[in-house]
Amino acid sequence: MANIRPTARYSLKSILILLFGGLLIITTILLSWVLTSIARNSLLSEQKIAMEALATQAANRFDNNLAERVRELRTVASIRRAGGLLLQNKGQARAWLNNLRTSYPLYAWIGYADTKGEVQVSSGGLLEGASVAERPWFKAGLEGVFIGDVHKALLLESLLTPRDNPWRFLDVSLPVTNADGDVVGVLGAHLSDDWFTLISNDVLKATLRYKPVEAILLDKDGEIVMAPEGFQDAKALHELAPPRDALAPVSKVASLNGESDYLMAFLAPSQHPNLQMLDWMLVVRQPRGVAFEGILELQDTVLQVGLLLLLASIFLAVGFSVWISRPLRSAAAGAQRFTETREVPDILEARYLEGAELLQSLKVLMTDIREYENELEDKVEQRTEELANSLKQIEINERQLRTITDNLPVQIAYIDVSLRHVFYNSAYETALGLADDSALWKPLQEILPEERYLLFLPYIEQALAGNRAKFEFPQLIEGKPRILECQYIPDIAAGGEVSGFFVMMSDITDLREQHQRLQWQVQHDSLTGALNRQGLQVILELALERAFRYRSGMALMFIDLDRFKAVNDTYGHAVGDEVLKATVQRTREVLRKSDSVARIAGDEFVVVLENLQEPERNATQVARSILDSLNEPLQVGTADLRIQGSIGVACLDGQYRVDKEELLKLADEAMYESKNAGRNQYRILTLSKPLERESDAEKR
């Protein structure tokens, strides 16, 4: 409105105008002071309501964000697959936790620990294998949902990316249960202390577009959780704060240690379930000059209104008060409706700056909150659908893998680093006598007998060290003894760590038996069953080695049947074959089990005697027994035969290493002496010359 100025001088009218004008000016000044006081109180009330609403919005945002984190963790903890909980499949669980941390970067760490407090899987693999049994979040997480106050990093400090300020965390944890409802571990997360700043800035961003406003968090002990840079008056602020059980925000105008006056809104967490666990006090403050800037503008405006009638001024003040407060009352009612219904209400438009700013900020905040919640719901629904599709694909892949492996003639399994079966096919299940899926996710030590576990343990350790292991062991399969060949193949990830190992087992019983049959055929005479020349070479080398090692005596006998050619010529080769068989059989009857007999030619045989205390005397007794046994009558068909032979014996006392060819040569010489002496007798030669001591060979 325009100022009223006198239009004439020194006239009565002018004097009256000046007189009444002065009176009106005085009245206007007084009325201005009254109106200014009224407006100040009204604006103060409105600003307090705005600050308290802002504090409530910030607390709601903190509380809702914590609730969302709890919902995310609860969703991950409840995901199941055919083999059990997703969290118990380390590879899949780590991928989920990494994706969750990527989608919400304020997660500094997410991990799952078993009931003993050992971290089984975590984002980025941090602290896996470490114990968190003494951490408060783990102990409380076994009982239910836990939200813990800010604390310094104890275990993760050296593992996370270094930064200027020390890492501080807000803990969120909850129990993980199996299908029976039993607690099997705790899923926990650490939110970095950047969480407070980012959320508070997000809440205050609409107000910050117009006026400076600050948020401060005090913990249950009155210490600073979040504050503007340089703020250190936590104690003074704590003394101004209302009781922690206050049901509504409280606003005050005060100064702290020489600072300018601030309009401050205090909000205790009594009406916010998640914040109540933390027992924080939230403070939103604004400089007094900024908060009451509109009052000064109003006072200037009122002072410019001159020469108005007192009644009109009063009515104007009343109308102005109603006009200014009505949009605010509408805003408060709208905020209450939004809190209850989450619908953004229609609010009356304000025609003055402060009210417009406040209402605009309120609308923006409510709209942002609703859009954020809708976006969050869409993301949760999308992630749930993606998770269901992923689990379905995993089930399809696992079913295809099982179909393939169940039709292979090999026992196949996969065991993780905690020695739990993650997968095995039906052949493996049959080989180890396991029930259907009974061994999945159970410790190997609980499944195998102790002696079998101890047998496998060295090879398991070798595989977990990154090396392939191969061994054989006996096993009863369907009541039949079999021999299994087992290979442990380490599963080495891209980073070089061993995630577990594959088990490949095959039944080599038939192959082993076939090999033994072939080996027997190679070293034995097919007609008599005695050793052949190749078998003799092997036995003789071993006998000479044992004789020298244990300094024991031994003897080598050459047996040549007398006039065997006449038997073949007279009775035929079939009878001759029976004579050869009888020779071996009768010779074996007088030998010990440790002695050996070989057929090296048509009617030539060699006997190896080991471990003789008195080689010549012992060999003499055996030679006489063989001759006596051979001389007994032999009935082959209609032919009555007598077998005779000439025996040459080479004796060795075991004090020297002897070449087998020289020993054979000496026995052959003794045999010819026996034949030259008239047959059907024996001759003994002893190797008396020292050949070469092992110590002499070692000296060279």
DSSP string of 639-689? EEEE--EEEEEEEE-SSSB--HHHHHHHHHHHHHHHHHTTSSSEEEEE--S
What is the rounded distance in angstroms from the CA atom of residue 538 to the CA atom of residue 556? 14
Q: Alpha helices, DSSP H only, in 79-188?
A: 90-103, 136-141
Average pLDDT, the chain: 77
What is the rounded distance in angstroms from the CA atom of residue 595 to the CA atom of residue 625? 14
Q: Is 292 helix (H, G, I), strand (E, B) or coil?
A: coil
- Which letter, b or e, does each residue of 161-170 get, where b requires 16 or more Cβ atoms within 10 Å of its Cβ? eeeeeebbbb
Contact 553, 654 (CB under 8 A): yes
pLDDT(558) > 70: yes
Confidence of residue 16 (pLDDT cuts 50, 70, 90): very low
pLDDT(606) > 90: yes
Q: Determine the pLDDT at residue 192.
A: 79
Q: Alpha helices, DSSP H only, in 557-642?
A: 564-571, 573-590, 615-631
Residue spans per domain, the chain: 408-511, 524-699
Which two tokens mark 636? Answer: 């082959």
pLDDT(2) > 50: no
Q: What is the rounded average pLDDT of the residues 305-315?
A: 59
Residue 493 Cα distances to 93, 94, 236, 498, 510, angstroms: 15, 13, 56, 6, 36
Burial-class residue 658 by CB neighbours within 10 Å (0-12, 13-18, 19+). Answer: buried
Higher pLDDT, 40 or 5: 40
- Which letter, b or e, does each residue of 518-548 get, where b requires 16 or more Cβ atoms within 10 Å of its Cβ? eeeeebbbeebebbbeebbbebbeebbeebb
Overall fold of domain 524-699: Alpha-Beta Plaits (3.30.70)
pLDDT(613) > 50: yes
pLDDT for 337-370, tens place per residue? 777 777 777 666 766 676 677 777 777 777 778 7
What is the rounded distance in angstroms from the CA atom of residue 537 to the CA atom of residue 435? 51
Q: What is the rounded average pLDDT of the residues 304-309?
A: 59
Higher pLDDT, 267 or 551: 551
Q: CB-hemisphere CA count at 13 Å for 123?
A: 24
pLDDT for 447-497, tens place per residue? 788 888 888 889 988 888 889 988 888 877 767 787 888 889 999 888 888
Residue 71: phi and psi, rounded to 5, are: -65, -40
Which two tokens mark 406? Answer: 């169940």
Higher pLDDT, 677 or 689: 677
Confidence of residue 28 (pLDDT cuts 50, 70, 90): low
Q: Determine the pLDDT at residue 13.
A: 41
DSSP for 322-379?
HHHHHHHHHHHHHHHHHHHH--PPP-PPPSSHHHHHHHHHHHHHHHHHHHHHHHHHHH
- What class is the 408-511 domain? alpha beta
Helix or strand holding residue 485 (H, E): strand 480-492
3-state secondary structure 163-216: CCCCCEEEEEEEEEECCCCCEEEEEEEEEECHHHHHHHHHHHHHHHCCCCCEEE
> Which residues lie closer than 8 Å to 230 by C-beta, 6 or more apart?
none
Q: Determine the pLDDT at residue 609.
A: 93
Contact 581, 528 (CB under 8 A): yes
- Which contacts qualify for 631-639: CB closer than 8 Å, 24 or more apart? 631/680, 632/586, 634/579, 634/582, 636/571, 636/575, 636/578, 636/579, 636/582, 637/571, 637/575, 639/571, 639/575
Which residues are registered as beta bridge partners of 608? 556, 596
DSSP assignment letter at 125: G
> Where is average pLDDT lowest: 99-108, 358-367, 502-511?
358-367
pLDDT(691) > 50: no
> Which residues lie closer than 8 Å to 291 by C-beta, 6 or more apart?
47, 51, 211, 263
Residue 458: phi and psi, rounded to 5, are: -60, -35
pLDDT for 167-224, tens place per residue? 677 889 999 998 888 898 999 988 877 777 777 777 666 565 556 777 777 777 777 7
Higher pLDDT, 403 or 283: 283
pLDDT(621) > 90: yes
Q: Determine the pLDDT at residue 697.
A: 37
DSSP assignment letter at 410: S
Percent of the chain beyond pLDDT 70? 70
Contact 302, 16 (CB under 8 A): no
Burial-class residue 397 by CB neighbours within 10 Å (0-12, 13-18, 19+). Answer: exposed
Contact 106, 198 (CB under 8 A): yes
Which two tokens mark 30? Answer: 């007084």
> Which residues lie closer than 8 Å to 466 by C-beta, 6 or more apart?
490, 492, 498
> Which residues lie closer than 8 Å to 630 by C-beta, 6 or more apart?
583, 586, 587, 643, 644, 645
Higher pLDDT, 221 or 13: 221
pLDDT(118) > 80: yes
DSSP assignment letter at 4: P
pTM above threshold 0.75: no
Is the CA virtual torsion 374, 375, 376, 377 positive or negative? Answer: positive
pLDDT(326) > 70: no
Which two tokens mark 146? Answer: 């836990």
pLDDT(284) > 70: yes
Q: Determine the pLDDT at residue 270.
A: 65
Q: Determine the pLDDT at residue 79.
A: 86
Which two tokens mark 56? Answer: 């409530």
Contact 360, 371 (CB under 8 A): no
pLDDT for 231-251, tens place per residue? 666 676 776 777 766 667 777
Q: What is the rounded average pLDDT of the residues 281-309?
A: 67
